Amino acid sequence: MGTATWEALSGNPVSNSVFDDVHQVNHVRLGHEADLVVVAPATADLLAKAATGQAGDLLTNTLLMARGPVLFAPAMHTEMWQHAATRANVETLRGRGAAVLEPATGRLTGADSGPGRLPEPQVIFDAAMALVQGQTDFQLPLAGRTVTISAGGTREPLDPVRFLGNRSSGKQGVALAVAARNAGATVRLLAAHMEVPPPAGVEVVTVETALQLREAALAAAADSDVVIMSAAVADFRPAVVSDTKIKKRDDSADPVITLVRNPDILHELVEVRNAAGDEARQRLIVGFAAETGDSHGDVLAYAEAKLQRKGCDLLVVNHVGSDKVFGQDTNSVVILARSGSEPQEASGTKAEVSEAIINRIGFELNSVSPRA
């Protein structure tokens, strides 16, 4: 693609040489005026030049003159990305404060595949937004707050091959992490099995089982202002996990699997907070309820009872079924508050729903624990 194409697509002038518009001193001006510099793709050669402070062209001059954050989106063959020289250059750049994304994994130019693909545009965009908003996060509803979010579905092993799981894709939890990050929060994502990658700009703690999630959630809650338990957690786990694959028996007898209850993580988080004293009570705990409803009551009736039973501050309720919520890109929820305020409805894409949830959380948190 040439200069004319970029100018037509962007609606902006394009410079590609130190000697373009010399009277405007572009090799200085561009870096000084930029709120953010994004280098995509960032090749191994470019990373090396940036790490060693070279200034042989307009881009490297701009990088040296940049006053705002700099984001690199690497793209190269796997061996080049993993080479010790490239790894050292990446660490050098990160040590100076630049953001260097991890490349995506997949098919490269040729028959080979592996880490080295350019990150997806949405990943680059999310990282760019996080960097820009980091410069002005004092204006955002969750600025200075730490938010822990669980996402995805837990898996309880039966044997080395099989597990008990659920349909959760992790999309809603990831969307919540993006919304919280964009609202100025420091975000910690407790990631169970997810069908989508975690977003840039958040800390990720990987878990598999409910017991692992419980341990991670209790540890993270200690320094969190908000804990959002949006993961789909297994209510039960096998009492015994076989060390070898469970095989069909010659006598055709059906296997018997005994299940035991998993801990109620949400309720335990509330109990730990309430036992810690007044200061800890300012922490906001948010639960999720996936309800189907039946002849004994509607979805909201179940959810209201769950809210009181769990003791959390907010409960986000979605009506689930074979064709609803799980794996979809849209959602419809009702936000219930233990304070007794009117239920709030939110629907749309999971990103839009997440923004509504995070805005409500910001309002509730700043009511009970105003920022200094």
Q: Is 93 annotated as a binding residue?
A: no
Find, among 239, 259, 255, the residue nearest to 247 by Cα. 255
- For residue 315, the cross-strand partners are 287, 336
| Residue bearing tokens 């009872």 | 305
Q: Is 245 annotated as a binding residue?
A: yes
Q: Is 49 annotated as a binding residue?
A: no
CB atoms within 10 A of CB 345: 12
Angle between helical axes of 44-51 and 58-65 (0-180°, round to 10): 40
166 is catalytic: yes
| Residue bearing tokens 């979805």 | 299
139 vs 162: CA distance, rounded Å: 48
Question: In whole angstroms, how far apart are CA 192 and each of 156, 195, 212, 333?
Answer: 11, 10, 9, 22
- For residue 336, the cross-strand partners are 315
Catalytic residue among 61, 89, 166, 331: 166
Question: Tokens representing 328?
Answer: 């979809």
Q: Is 254 annotated as a binding residue?
A: no
| Residue bearing tokens 């820009």 | 132
182 vs 209: CA distance, rounded Å: 29
Q: 331-337: long-range contacts at Cβ-Cβ below 8 A with a sequence spacing of 24 or more?
A: 331/172, 333/357, 334/300, 334/303, 335/360, 336/300, 336/303, 336/304, 336/307, 337/313, 337/364
229 vs 263: CA distance, rounded Å: 14
Question: In whole angstroms, how far apart are CA 72 and each of 41, 99, 112, 155?
Answer: 7, 6, 23, 35
| Residue bearing tokens 């009506």 | 319
Q: Is 247 annotated as a binding residue?
A: no
List CB contacts of 252: < 8 A, sequence separation 6 or more.
none
13 vs 18: CA distance, rounded Å: 14
151 vs 192: CA distance, rounded Å: 6
Annotated binding site for CTP: 235, 245, 263-266, 288, 306, 310
For the annotated binding site, the residues are: 235, 245, 263-266, 288, 306, 310
| Active site positions, annotated | 166
